[in-house]
Amino acid sequence: MDDMHGNSPKTLRQDLLKQRKEFAAGQNYGQTKDLLIACLNQFLAEDGNSQQVIALYWPIQDEIDLRPVLITWAHQKAGRRLALPFARADKHLDFYEWQEGDKLIPSQYGVPEPNPNNPSRPAVNPNYILIPCVGWSSSINNGKTQYWRLGYGGGYFDRTLAELRKHNPKLVCIGIGFDWQKLNDAQWAAQTHDEPLDMLLTESGLFR
């Protein structure tokens, strides 16, 4: 039962989005964002060397904008590609190659998406998927910490990850969030259909 604590995921989500809006307008935001970007740059320098496809997101509702960093990364070496998600009618995501300046089309939620019918931008299978978190939590499973993402509630990423992981066990999914977004068990616990994150990136570093 979702409503056990009298605080439904929907209400929690709204509260967190409101907090994020205030945080993004606050004086510490610039510094926190710089720290997170520095952690991402360090990760890319260590792990992002070979020919790879990184799927990013188009930032909406005060999500942190990772585009400049990733565009720079992609330009540094041949074979590196970026991709953006396209939401299908069956609530799964497909990823299509994206380059700066591409014309995008707004989804039903107003999120700019790649055009799936553009012959020069094929569908790709990402090695890494970066996902923004509305909130996040951690749990210990067999002595190992697992990280979980609270998203917007559409279930797109959970469905997509479950499918992609079947075909590519090496896929790495990285949640992008802030330290203050961490939720405790009384606020929210991952459900059985929730897919765990492989890593979580906040201003404090990368948690694997």
**In Å, what is the CA distance from 145 to each residue of 90, 129, 142, 196?**
32, 20, 8, 10
Backbone angles phi, psi at 56, to 5 degrees: -115, -170
Please count the other Cβ atoms lying within 10 Å of the Cβ belonging to residue 135: 24
Give the gyration radius of the chain's Cα atoms: 17
CA–CA distance, 86 with 160 (Å, rounded to integer): 11
Binding annotation: 63
Binding annotation for substrate: 63
